[in-house]
């Protein structure tokens, strides 16, 4: 692929003795759309701010195009930022906000004018040049913030939860818009979000973070299909995570039964975490089932029903388009490719049990991410 642009080596960050980042190693390629994804307090914004130059890491190095830039102040970096809640200048109108960086860098007046107008056209804000910032809607302010950063033609654009304050519909539109702009301008995007769906749909590479550490780096498909540990499996999408034992390559035992799977390379009889995605489970008549369980709750989600099924005291989430009454007994089949095996980790046993499942589950996890500073 394209060449490496930024590298973070053994990055740690401490505030008042508290470790916020703990050994971050990461490289970012030119033209890449890379997303730092994780829950509130995972260190993703701190990582972004170190790349932007607003924080100096406690230890470790940041290199840009082969040069160490730890102590280079933000104004000397070829990096621009779209800040959380935009940070637009309230004393300037739309035009002057966008022209700000060009004026500071003494770009000729004619060129400033041409570039600002071109940029406003790209973000669909033509005709808003002389509007005051507080007379714009959230979505418009957001686009001014993007224009203000991109007009400087930075090598890298940092985006800190840029869509967090927008409503769902606008957020979806802006996701497409951002991806389009990124591809059209060929700029590296480093994007911070706690929204896994946003990360999956926009990124070339996703970096999943938690507790100041990188949990997994990979393409969206790989992160979703091959999560490395229980945290990633739970944070990206929904997962049923069970204790199992890897008998040998391609054979895993859980719930007292041996299943065929597609994973190998584990030690004989190694205890493992077994991930089964709720949408991969096939519901079959009881007589044909690998396992038989009882439906304990059902929630209509629009696209599908979320049903909770109890198997031998352990509750699973299953997504199905068919209605199953509470109390009914169903059978399920698991195909080898539906079963994903992970090594045990510090996160084992913390996620993937739907015993306390309720309809508010999704909303709770969404809200938790919004508190990040």
Partner 1 sequence: MKKTKSVLLSAPYLAWMVVFTLVPLGVVAYYALTDPATGVFTLGNLRNLGMYLPVLWNSIAYSLVSAFICLLLGYPVAYYIAHCRQTAQKFLYMLVMLPMCMSFLLRTLAWVGLLQDTGIINTMLAKIGLPRLRLIRTPAAVVLGMVYNYLPYMILPLYATLMKIDRRLIEAAEDLGCTPVQTFCKVVFPLSMPGILSGMTMVFVPAVSTFYISQKLGGTDTVLIGDVIERQFKQGNNPNLGAALSLVLMLLVFVCTGIMNRFGGGEEEVVV
91 touches partner 1 (CB under 8 A):
yes
Nearer to partner 1, 85 or 251 (CB): 85
52 touches partner 1 (CB under 8 A):
yes
164 touches partner 1 (CB under 8 A):
no
Q: What are the structure tokens assigned to 261, written together?
A: 């799977």
**Total binding residues for partner 1 by CB under 8 A?**
24
Instruction: Give all strands of the β-sheet with 188-193 in edge-to-edge order.
Output: 79-82, 156-160, 188-193, 33-37, 205-210, 213-218
Any residues with CB less than 8 A from the CB of 322 and at least 6 apart, and which?
283, 305
- Contacts to partner 1 from residues 131-150, by CB under 8 A: 148-149
CB of 156 to partner 1, least distance (A): 11
17 touches partner 1 (CB under 8 A):
no
54 touches partner 1 (CB under 8 A):
yes
Nearer to partner 1, 91 or 169 (CB): 91
Provide the CB-side half-sphere exposure for 169 (13 A, CA).
Answer: 0
Measuring CA to CA, how many Å separate 177 from each of 31, 202, 313? 16, 10, 46
Cβ pair 351, 231 in contact under 8 A? yes
Binding region for partner 1 (CB under 8 A) out of 99-107, 187-195, 232-240, 257-265: 99-107
87 touches partner 1 (CB under 8 A):
yes
162 touches partner 1 (CB under 8 A):
no
CB of 290 to partner 1, least distance (A): 54
CB of 153 to partner 1, least distance (A): 12
Binding region for partner 1 (CB under 8 A) out of 23-31, 78-86, 113-121, 308-316: 78-86
Nearer to partner 1, 101 or 218 (CB): 101
Q: Which of 59, 65, 104, 349 lies at the binding interface for partner 1 (CB under 8 A)?
A: 104
73 touches partner 1 (CB under 8 A):
yes
Q: Which of 2, 59, 74, 349 lies at the binding interface for partner 1 (CB under 8 A)?
A: 74
Binding region for partner 1 (CB under 8 A) out of 100-108, 184-192, 299-307, 357-365: 100-108
308 touches partner 1 (CB under 8 A):
no
| Strand 305-311 relative to strand 291-300, pairing | antiparallel
| Strand 240-248 relative to strand 270-276, pairing | antiparallel
CB of 366 to partner 1, least distance (A): 24
Q: How far apart are CA 38 and CA 313, in angstroms?
A: 31
Buried b (16+ CB within 10 A) or exposed e, 106-140: ebeeeebeebbbebbebbebeebeebebeebeebb
Binding region for partner 1 (CB under 8 A) out of 71-79, 189-197, 219-227, 244-252: 71-79
340 touches partner 1 (CB under 8 A):
no
CA angle 7, 11, 15 (to 5 degrees): 140
CB of 159 to partner 1, least distance (A): 12
Q: Which of 9, 85, 131, 211 lies at the binding interface for partner 1 (CB under 8 A)?
A: 85
Residues lying near partner 1 in the complex (CB under 8 A) are found at: 52-54, 73-75, 79-81, 83-85, 87-91, 100-101, 104-105, 148-149, 152
């Amino acid at each position: 692929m394209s060449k490496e642009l930024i590298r973070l080596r053994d990055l740690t960050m401490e505030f008042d003795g508290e470790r916020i980042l703990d050994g971050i190693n990461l490289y970012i390629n030119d033209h890449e759309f890379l997303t730092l994804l994780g829950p509130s307090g995972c260190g993703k914004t701190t990582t972004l701010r170190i790349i932007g130059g607003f924080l100096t890491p406690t230890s470790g190095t940041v290199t840009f195009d082969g040069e160490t830039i730890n102590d280079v102040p933000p104004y000397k970096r070829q990096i621009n930022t779209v800040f959380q809640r935009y940070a637009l200048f309230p004393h300037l109108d739309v035009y002057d906000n966008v022209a700000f960086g060009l004026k500071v860098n003494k770009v000729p007046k004619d060129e400033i004018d041409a570039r600002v107008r071109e940029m406003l056209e790209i973000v669909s804000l033509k005709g808003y040049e002389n509007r005051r910032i507080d007379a714009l809607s959230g979505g418009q302010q957001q686009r001014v913030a993007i224009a203000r950063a991109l007009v400087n033609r930075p090598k890298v654009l940092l985006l800190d939860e840029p869509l967090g304050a927008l409503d769902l519909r606008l957020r979806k539109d802006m996701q497409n818009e951002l991806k389009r702009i990124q591809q059209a301008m060929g700029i590296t995007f480093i994007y911070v979000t706690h929204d896994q769906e946003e990360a999956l749909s926009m990124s070339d590479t996703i970096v999943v973070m938690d507790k100041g550490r990188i949990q997994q780096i990979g393409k969206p498909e790989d992160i979703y299909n091959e999560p490395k540990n229980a945290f990633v499996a739970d944070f990206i999408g929904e997962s049923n995570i069970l204790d199992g034992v890897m008998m040998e390559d391609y054979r895993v035992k859980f719930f007292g039964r041996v299943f065929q799977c597609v994973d190998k390379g584990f030690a004989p009889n190694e205890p493992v975490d077994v991930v089964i995605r709720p949408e991969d489970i096939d519901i079959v008549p009881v007589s044909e089932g690998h396992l038989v369980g009882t439906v304990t709750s059902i929630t209509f989600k629009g696209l599908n029903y979320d049903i909770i099924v109890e198997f031998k005291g352990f509750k699973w989430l299953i997504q199905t388009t068919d209605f199953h009454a509470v109390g009914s007994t169903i059978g399920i089949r698991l195909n080898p490719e539906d079963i994903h095996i992970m090594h045990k980790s510090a996160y084992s046993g913390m996620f993937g049990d739907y015993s306390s499942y309720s309809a508010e589950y999704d909303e709770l996890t969404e809200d938790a991410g919004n508190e990040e500073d």
